[in-house]
Amino acid sequence: MTTEDRSYLEVKLAWASPLSYPNRYLAFLDGRGHEIFMVTEPAQELPPDVWELAQTELRRRYLNGVIQKIVSLKTEFGSTYWRVLTDRGEKEFLTQSLQENAQWLTPTYLMLVDVDGNRYEITDTNALDQRSQDLLSVTV
């Protein structure tokens, strides 16, 4: 990617506020994670072909699986190994430091972020089966 005065070999895309402002404030970051520039309304401001490529990359980067069942949980040395059933099938992922990577958005809505930055949601913990609720209550 080339801007007015500089070329970048590696560029990453990241939503600045994915929960508060979905599909707004798209940051273009260099290989070290420093902001190159930000686009407020990417769907309107980017050329259609660039926006299409950006959406493909963002879908890959921000995997949002909705957890329907917790199959197993194992915690070792501050890391939690999850095996879950999501709306996208069965997934296994690892979280570290649940104090930082498990966010309660409401009393029953939980967002988990794995070590790769993927996000998994439990939209209503009360809707989980009893075993999943029990595993969750012991872990989070």
Give dist(CA 24, CA 1) in Å, integer. Answer: 21
| Predicted local distance difference test score (pLDDT) of residue 117 | 77
pLDDT higher than 80, residue 20: no
Q: Residue 30 to residues 23, 55, 71, 95: CA-CA distances in angstroms?
A: 20, 18, 38, 25
| Predicted local distance difference test score (pLDDT) of residue 120 | 94
Q: Which residue ranges form the domains of the chain, and what is each CATH number?
A: 11-61 (no CATH), 64-139 (2.60.40)
pLDDT higher than 80, residue 15: yes
**Residues 31/9, Cβ–Cβ less than 8 Å:** yes
Give dist(CA 23, CA 15) in Å, integer. Answer: 8
| Predicted local distance difference test score (pLDDT) of residue 104 | 94
Confidence tier at 63 by pLDDT (50, 70, 90): low
Q: pLDDT per residue over 37-51, tens digit each?
A: 999 999 999 999 999
Mean of the per-residue pLDDT values of the chain: 91
Q: pLDDT per residue over 67-87, tens digit each?
A: 999 999 999 998 999 999 999
